[in-house]
Amino acid sequence: MTRTAASGKRRSANGCRALADYLQAEGWPFAEAVGSGRNGVDITGTPGLAIEHKGADEWKLETWLSQAESRPGLPLVVYQGRGLSWDSLARWPAIMRTGDLVGLLRQAGYGGDR
């Protein structure tokens, strides 16, 4: 494994744990990072959510979304780009399909009559 690949894997593993800690503090007390070596979502203990954490330099958005969509729950990809530290975790992009976003916005009272 190259030095860059190793640092990317380390960033991803550390970022996944930081994301689980953040979710615990924000109301998902059972959020747990399970790591990339296990099948299933990257963060467990978040009922109704299928969360994938990605810290890769190579952008594979469709692959990542498909991976999240293959699991039960609202599919979300949280992306930790290069240079995004744990203290800026609330600013990491969370990515979802537009249809899922519109459904959530409507449930929250946004949007007019169809």
Round to whole Å and give the CA distance between 97 and 112: 20
Domain map (residue ranges) of the chain? 3-107
Round to whole Å and give the CA distance between 78 and 93: 6
pLDDT value at position 99?
97
Helix%, strand%, coil% for the chain, nearest 5? 40, 15, 40
pLDDT value at position 88?
86
Q: In a structure prediction context, what are the per-residue pLDDT tens digits for the chain, which is 114 residues long?
A: 454 555 556 566 788 999 999 999 999 999 999 966 667 889 999 999 999 999 877 889 999 999 999 999 999 999 998 877 778 899 999 999 999 999 999 999 999 776
pLDDT value at position 10?
58
CATH of region 3-107: 3.40.1350
pLDDT value at position 48?
96
Q: Residue type at 71?
A: R
* DSSP category for residue 52: E
pLDDT value at position 87?
80
